[in-house]
Structure 1
Amino acid sequence: MPRTRWSPRSTKLRELLRDRRLALGLLQGELAERLGQPQSFVSKVEQGERRLDLEEVLDYAAALKLDPHEIVAAVLKVPASRQSGRKG
């Protein structure tokens, strides 16, 4: 069985951002406009084809009217992946 490309925390982040977009009634293109990005950027993030760096997460938070602290808190509730082989 192939290993998953994304950790459970990465998956939670993507789901949280997508669910918030949908709750606000925004199309991917509308969110992309707020982010100053093409629609394909939002699509790739939501499909797991592209990761977000911290600055992009903050931009998403502002565009979706989310508190970045709430994003971090939600993601931290998900156990870290054990597949990485890291301890701690």
Structure 2
Amino acid sequence: MTSKEKATAYWKVNLRYLLILLSIWFIVSYGCGILFREELNQFRLGGFKLGFWFAQQGSIYVFVILIFVYVRLMNKLDKKFGYDK
């Protein structure tokens, strides 16, 4: 595999990771905080309705978790393509 092919393959995998992780964040922040709010409000977390909690806190927590997941995925990807040096 040439250097250019390797870089192209690396970038494609990176974009796939970004698309998946940002889709998860969108579903959690927009879906759970706005679209599914009424269904989630039947449950409580820490005294607050779950839909409200996702809109105010949950999406931020999920975003931080996704950052750590992305770092881990990218470290594995760097090793796979030899960019970890």
TM-score, normalised by the number of residues in structure 2: 0.35
Higher relative contact order (CA 8 A, sep 6+): 1
Bigger fraction of residues in strand:
2
TM-score, normalised by the number of residues in structure 1: 0.34
Bigger fraction of residues in helix:
2
Of structures 1 and 2, the larger Rg is shown by 2
